[in-house]
Amino acid sequence: MHITVRPNGPYRVFGGVPLYDDDGNQFEVPPGDWYVLCRCGHSETKPFCDASHKTSGFKPETRCPRAEAHGL
């Protein structure tokens, strides 16, 4: 199981990770080995990505900072 931060896009969740809301209700995730979660806040299918980031101008920093820069 792992989560990948896509450049200028969603979180891609691999490995059958269940997804719950704040009340403990489980979302029905799309079938397959992975699904994508919205990161831009513009999706009409939240928490899932609908590719709205492509037209919303969403441009976050997606690279993991080096551990040394944070004293780790």
Q: Which amino acid, one-letter code, is at 51? A: A
Query: What is the token pair recorded at 36?
Result: 């994508």
Q: How many domains does the chain have?
A: 1
Is 70 a member of any domain?
no
In angstroms, the CA 65 to CA 7 distance is 14
Q: Which amino acid, one-letter code, is at 11? A: Y
pLDDT for 16 equals: 86
Q: Domain of 8?
A: 1-17+33-64
- Helix (H) / strand (E) containing 18: none
In angstroms, the CA 72 to CA 66 distance is 9
The ranges of the chain with pLDDT < 50 are none
pLDDT for 67 equals: 55
- Helix (H) / strand (E) containing 12: strand 11-14
Is 22 a member of any domain?
no
